Amino acid sequence: MEIIEYDEKYKQAFIDFNTEWIIKYFGFLEEEDVYTFEHVEELLGKGSMIFFAVEDGVPLAACMAEPMEGGTWELCKLGANSAIPHKGVGEAVARAAMDWAKAHGAERMFIITNTVLKAAIHIYEKLGFREIKLDDYGYKRGDIAFECILE
C-alpha cells in the first residue's frame, strides 16, 4: 500500500467513499458535501490536498486537509473502500493529511463528526485529537468536535 497525493483518476473514488458512509449513516448529503465534491479542483487550488491509500492501483481510502483561517485547518472527508477493507488505511491517509497541513503552515486541525462514527473517532483520538466544544460550523450532522494542536 502507498499513500499518494491527489490524482484526478481517483477523484470519483473520493466522492464515492464519502457519499457511501454519509448516506449509510445519515441518509442525505449536506450542501457542504455537494460543494466539496463538485469543486475538488477549486479547493485544491486554494491549498487543500486529498490523500489516497492505494494498493495495486486500487484506491482503499481518502482524506482531505482543507485550510481555514489563521493557521487552522480542517481534517475532513475521511472515507474508505467498503468493498476492500484494509486495516490502518484510514489512519494512514489522515496522518498524511495532517503532515501536509503542518508542512503548509497549520498550527491546529479540527474535525466535526458524529458520535455514531465510532471507528473514525477512534482514529482521530489515536492521532492525537481531543474533544472540544462544538461550535456552529454549519454541519447539520455534526454533534462532536475534535482538535489537534500540531507541534
Give the span between the Cα atoms of 117 and 8, in whole angstroms: 28
Nearest to 81 by CA among 60, 62, 53, 55: 60
The tens place of each residue's pLDDT in the chain, 151 residues long, gives 999 999 999 999 999 999 999 999 999 999 999 999 999 999 999 999 999 999 999 999 999 999 999 999 999 999 999 998 788 999 999 999 999 999 999 999 999 999 999 999 999 999 999 999 887 666 778 899 999 999 8
Give the amino acid at 51. F
CATH dotted code for 2-149 = 3.40.630.30
Give the amino acid at 100. W
Give the span between the Cα atoms of 70 and 19, in whole angstroms: 30
State the pTM of this model.
0.94
